[in-house]
Chain A
Amino acid sequence: MPRRNPAGERPQRRKDVRHGQGGDAFRCVGCGLDVPVHAPGTAHRNHCPHCLTSLHLDRRVPGDRRAGCRGRMTALSVTVRHDGEWLIIHHCQSCGVLSANRIAGDDNALALLRIAMRPLSDRRLPVSAMLTL
Protein backbone atom coordinates (compact mmCIF):
# COMPACT_ATOMS: atom_id res chain seq x y z
CA MET A 1 0.00 0.00 0.00
CA PRO A 2 1.45 3.43 -0.87
CA ARG A 3 2.66 5.55 1.99
CA ARG A 4 0.71 8.70 2.57
CA ASN A 5 3.50 10.74 4.11
CA PRO A 6 6.71 9.69 2.37
CA ALA A 7 9.88 10.63 4.22
CA GLY A 8 11.12 13.35 1.95
CA GLU A 9 12.41 15.86 4.45
CA ARG A 10 14.91 13.89 6.44
CA PRO A 11 16.91 10.76 5.67
CA GLN A 12 16.63 7.81 8.03
CA ARG A 13 18.50 8.27 11.28
CA ARG A 14 22.02 6.82 11.37
CA LYS A 15 22.54 4.25 14.08
CA ASP A 16 25.39 2.18 15.40
CA VAL A 17 23.82 -0.99 14.04
CA ARG A 18 25.56 -4.26 13.36
CA HIS A 19 23.81 -6.07 10.56
CA GLY A 20 24.85 -8.91 8.34
CA GLN A 21 25.53 -11.79 10.73
CA GLY A 22 22.25 -13.59 10.20
CA GLY A 23 22.19 -13.92 6.41
CA ASP A 24 19.59 -12.26 4.23
CA ALA A 25 16.39 -13.79 5.66
CA PHE A 26 14.87 -14.97 8.93
CA ARG A 27 11.93 -17.19 9.74
CA CYS A 28 9.10 -15.68 11.75
CA VAL A 29 8.49 -17.37 15.11
CA GLY A 30 4.83 -16.41 14.99
CA CYS A 31 3.64 -17.58 11.59
CA GLY A 32 6.69 -19.29 10.03
CA LEU A 33 6.99 -16.89 7.13
CA ASP A 34 10.43 -16.53 5.57
CA VAL A 35 11.14 -12.80 5.82
CA PRO A 36 13.89 -11.12 3.80
CA VAL A 37 15.97 -8.68 5.84
CA HIS A 38 15.75 -6.01 3.16
CA ALA A 39 12.46 -4.18 3.41
CA PRO A 40 10.98 -1.21 1.59
CA GLY A 41 11.10 1.98 3.62
CA THR A 42 13.38 0.83 6.44
CA ALA A 43 16.89 -0.48 7.01
CA HIS A 44 16.17 -1.87 10.47
CA ARG A 45 13.54 -4.55 9.93
CA ASN A 46 13.19 -6.86 12.92
CA HIS A 47 9.62 -8.12 12.69
CA CYS A 48 7.47 -10.22 10.41
CA PRO A 49 5.48 -8.10 7.93
CA HIS A 50 2.55 -10.50 8.14
CA CYS A 51 1.94 -11.04 11.88
CA LEU A 52 4.32 -8.30 13.24
CA THR A 53 5.96 -10.77 15.65
CA SER A 54 9.62 -10.27 16.51
CA LEU A 55 12.32 -12.15 18.43
CA HIS A 56 14.16 -10.84 21.48
CA LEU A 57 17.77 -10.89 20.29
CA ASP A 58 19.15 -7.40 20.86
CA ARG A 59 19.82 -5.71 24.15
CA ARG A 60 20.43 -1.96 23.99
CA VAL A 61 21.95 -1.43 20.57
CA PRO A 62 19.99 -2.69 17.55
CA GLY A 63 21.88 -5.62 16.06
CA ASP A 64 24.14 -6.34 19.05
CA ARG A 65 22.57 -9.83 19.61
CA ARG A 66 23.41 -9.66 23.32
CA ALA A 67 20.00 -10.38 24.82
CA GLY A 68 20.32 -14.13 25.34
CA CYS A 69 16.56 -14.29 25.89
CA ARG A 70 15.33 -15.33 22.42
CA GLY A 71 11.75 -14.94 23.60
CA ARG A 72 8.88 -14.16 21.29
CA MET A 73 8.02 -10.47 21.07
CA THR A 74 4.45 -9.59 20.19
CA ALA A 75 3.22 -6.22 19.01
CA LEU A 76 1.79 -4.40 22.01
CA SER A 77 0.89 -1.00 20.67
CA VAL A 78 1.60 1.62 18.05
CA THR A 79 3.01 5.08 18.59
CA VAL A 80 3.76 8.02 16.34
CA ARG A 81 6.93 10.03 16.17
CA HIS A 82 6.81 13.78 15.76
CA ASP A 83 7.55 13.41 12.04
CA GLY A 84 4.52 11.15 11.58
CA GLU A 85 6.39 7.83 11.41
CA TRP A 86 4.65 4.92 13.09
CA LEU A 87 6.56 2.75 15.54
CA ILE A 88 5.53 -0.68 16.80
CA ILE A 89 6.11 -1.31 20.51
CA HIS A 90 7.07 -4.96 21.00
CA HIS A 91 6.69 -6.77 24.30
CA CYS A 92 8.82 -9.82 25.08
CA GLN A 93 6.62 -12.69 26.21
CA SER A 94 9.33 -14.33 28.33
CA CYS A 95 11.13 -11.44 30.04
CA GLY A 96 8.73 -8.53 29.59
CA VAL A 97 11.11 -6.06 27.97
CA LEU A 98 9.72 -3.42 25.61
CA SER A 99 11.29 -2.23 22.37
CA ALA A 100 10.27 0.05 19.53
CA ASN A 101 10.79 -0.43 15.81
CA ARG A 102 9.70 1.66 12.84
CA ILE A 103 7.17 0.00 10.56
CA ALA A 104 8.21 -1.16 7.10
CA GLY A 105 6.47 -0.39 3.83
CA ASP A 106 5.19 -3.94 3.43
CA ASP A 107 3.88 -4.42 6.97
CA ASN A 108 0.36 -5.78 7.26
CA ALA A 109 -1.82 -2.67 7.27
CA LEU A 110 -4.80 -4.50 8.74
CA ALA A 111 -2.75 -5.86 11.64
CA LEU A 112 -1.31 -2.40 12.31
CA LEU A 113 -4.73 -0.82 12.24
CA ARG A 114 -6.16 -3.42 14.61
CA ILE A 115 -3.47 -2.59 17.17
CA ALA A 116 -4.06 1.12 16.73
CA MET A 117 -7.83 0.67 17.14
CA ARG A 118 -7.52 -1.43 20.29
CA PRO A 119 -7.85 1.42 22.82
CA LEU A 120 -10.71 2.98 20.89
CA SER A 121 -12.74 -0.22 20.72
CA ASP A 122 -12.69 -0.56 24.51
CA ARG A 123 -16.20 -0.57 25.90
CA ARG A 124 -15.17 1.14 29.12
CA LEU A 125 -13.96 4.16 27.18
CA PRO A 126 -15.51 7.40 28.41
CA VAL A 127 -16.64 8.39 24.93
CA SER A 128 -19.53 10.46 26.26
CA ALA A 129 -17.12 12.50 28.35
CA MET A 130 -15.02 13.16 25.27
CA LEU A 131 -18.01 14.13 23.14
CA THR A 132 -18.90 16.90 25.55
CA LEU A 133 -15.63 18.67 24.77
Chain B
Amino acid sequence: MSTTHPSRPVPKTFPCVRCGLTVTASGPDGTPRNHCPSCLHSLHVLDAVEGGPSECRSRMAPISIAVLRTGDWMVIHRCARCGELTSNPICPDDNQLILMRMAVRPLAQPPFPLEAFGGL
Protein backbone atom coordinates (compact mmCIF):
# COMPACT_ATOMS: atom_id res chain seq x y z
CA MET B 1 0.00 0.00 0.00
CA SER B 2 1.33 3.38 -0.91
CA THR B 3 1.70 5.97 1.85
CA THR B 4 1.42 8.92 -0.53
CA HIS B 5 -1.97 10.52 -0.87
CA PRO B 6 -3.00 12.87 -3.67
CA SER B 7 -4.26 15.50 -1.25
CA ARG B 8 -1.05 15.45 0.87
CA PRO B 9 2.04 16.45 -1.10
CA VAL B 10 5.26 14.71 -0.17
CA PRO B 11 7.68 17.22 1.45
CA LYS B 12 10.82 17.89 -0.54
CA THR B 13 13.92 16.33 0.95
CA PHE B 14 17.62 16.16 0.21
CA PRO B 15 20.31 13.86 1.58
CA CYS B 16 23.07 15.51 3.60
CA VAL B 17 26.33 15.38 1.68
CA ARG B 18 28.36 14.69 4.82
CA CYS B 19 26.32 12.57 7.22
CA GLY B 20 23.71 11.20 4.83
CA LEU B 21 20.73 12.33 6.88
CA THR B 22 17.57 12.87 4.85
CA VAL B 23 16.68 16.52 5.43
CA THR B 24 13.42 18.23 4.58
CA ALA B 25 13.89 21.31 2.41
CA SER B 26 11.89 23.49 4.79
CA GLY B 27 12.42 23.88 8.51
CA PRO B 28 9.87 23.30 11.27
CA ASP B 29 8.68 26.90 10.94
CA GLY B 30 8.28 26.62 7.16
CA THR B 31 11.38 28.60 6.18
CA PRO B 32 13.52 27.04 3.46
CA ARG B 33 16.82 25.63 4.62
CA ASN B 34 19.93 24.57 2.83
CA HIS B 35 21.98 22.82 5.49
CA CYS B 36 21.72 19.64 7.49
CA PRO B 37 20.40 20.23 11.02
CA SER B 38 22.65 17.51 12.41
CA CYS B 39 26.10 18.39 11.06
CA LEU B 40 25.28 21.83 9.54
CA HIS B 41 27.03 20.99 6.27
CA SER B 42 25.65 22.33 3.01
CA LEU B 43 26.12 21.91 -0.73
CA HIS B 44 27.50 24.59 -3.07
CA VAL B 45 24.62 25.00 -5.54
CA LEU B 46 24.23 28.81 -5.58
CA ASP B 47 26.96 31.17 -6.72
CA ALA B 48 27.16 34.30 -4.60
CA VAL B 49 29.64 36.25 -6.74
CA GLU B 50 28.32 35.47 -10.21
CA GLY B 51 24.68 34.94 -9.22
CA GLY B 52 22.56 32.02 -10.28
CA PRO B 53 23.30 28.32 -9.92
CA SER B 54 26.85 27.16 -9.30
CA GLU B 55 28.54 24.32 -11.12
CA CYS B 56 30.76 23.53 -8.16
CA ARG B 57 28.36 21.26 -6.21
CA SER B 58 30.97 20.61 -3.57
CA ARG B 59 30.61 20.27 0.18
CA MET B 60 30.31 23.46 2.23
CA ALA B 61 31.54 23.27 5.80
CA PRO B 62 30.25 25.61 8.55
CA ILE B 63 33.04 27.90 9.71
CA SER B 64 31.51 30.55 11.92
CA ILE B 65 28.46 32.19 13.48
CA ALA B 66 27.44 35.75 12.67
CA VAL B 67 24.92 37.74 14.66
CA LEU B 68 22.99 40.34 12.70
CA ARG B 69 21.78 43.65 14.12
CA THR B 70 18.34 42.09 14.44
CA GLY B 71 19.78 39.43 16.72
CA ASP B 72 19.32 36.63 14.21
CA TRP B 73 22.07 34.07 13.97
CA MET B 74 23.59 33.22 10.61
CA VAL B 75 25.84 30.27 9.92
CA ILE B 76 28.66 31.00 7.47
CA HIS B 77 29.64 28.20 5.12
CA ARG B 78 32.81 27.86 3.10
CA CYS B 79 33.03 25.66 0.04
CA ALA B 80 35.69 23.00 0.49
CA ARG B 81 36.63 23.12 -3.19
CA CYS B 82 36.44 26.72 -4.40
CA GLY B 83 36.49 28.64 -1.11
CA GLU B 84 33.24 30.52 -1.69
CA LEU B 85 31.53 31.95 1.41
CA THR B 86 27.78 32.01 2.00
CA SER B 87 25.61 32.88 4.98
CA ASN B 88 22.27 31.40 5.90
CA PRO B 89 19.94 31.82 8.86
CA ILE B 90 19.92 29.03 11.39
CA CYS B 91 16.88 26.83 11.96
CA PRO B 92 15.33 26.12 15.38
CA ASP B 93 16.22 22.44 15.08
CA ASP B 94 19.87 22.98 14.18
CA ASN B 95 22.42 21.18 16.31
CA GLN B 96 22.97 23.53 19.25
CA LEU B 97 26.18 21.81 20.24
CA ILE B 98 27.86 22.48 16.90
CA LEU B 99 26.55 26.05 16.91
CA MET B 100 28.04 26.66 20.35
CA ARG B 101 31.29 24.98 19.39
CA MET B 102 31.67 27.36 16.45
CA ALA B 103 30.80 30.34 18.63
CA VAL B 104 33.43 29.61 21.28
CA ARG B 105 36.18 28.38 18.97
CA PRO B 106 37.75 31.84 18.38
CA LEU B 107 37.89 32.46 22.13
CA ALA B 108 39.51 29.08 22.71
CA GLN B 109 42.38 29.99 20.39
CA PRO B 110 42.94 33.72 20.90
CA PRO B 111 45.76 35.36 18.93
CA PHE B 112 46.46 37.67 21.85
CA PRO B 113 46.31 37.12 25.62
CA LEU B 114 42.79 37.60 26.92
CA GLU B 115 43.96 38.45 30.45
CA ALA B 116 44.25 42.10 29.45
CA PHE B 117 40.49 42.22 28.91
CA GLY B 118 39.61 40.77 32.28
CA GLY B 119 38.96 44.21 33.75
CA LEU B 120 36.50 45.22 31.05
Interface residues of A (CB under 8 A from B): 1-5, 59-60, 76-80, 84-86, 89, 91, 96-100, 103, 109-110, 113, 116-120, 122, 124, 126, 129-130, 133
Contact = CB atoms under 8 A, between A and B. Distances in A.
Nearest to A83: B109
B76 A77 contact: yes
A88 to B, nearest CB: 10
A84 B85 contact: no
Contacts of A2: 112-113
Given A1-B113, A60-B49, A77 B65 contact: yes
Interface of B, secondary structure class, is: mixed
Q: Chain B contact residues (Cβ within 8 angstroms of A): what range?
A: 20 to 34
A85 B111 contact: yes
Contact of A97 (B49, B71, B76): B49
A89 B67 contact: no
28 contacts: A3-B111, A4-B110, A4-B111, A59-B49, A76-B76, A76-B87, A77-B76, A79-B76, A79-B102, A86-B109, A89-B76, A91-B87, A98-B87, A100-B78, A103-B111, A109-B117, A110-B117, A113-B110, A116-B106, A118-B67, A120-B103, A120-B107, A122-B67, A122-B71, A122-B73, A124-B71, A126-B96, A130-B97
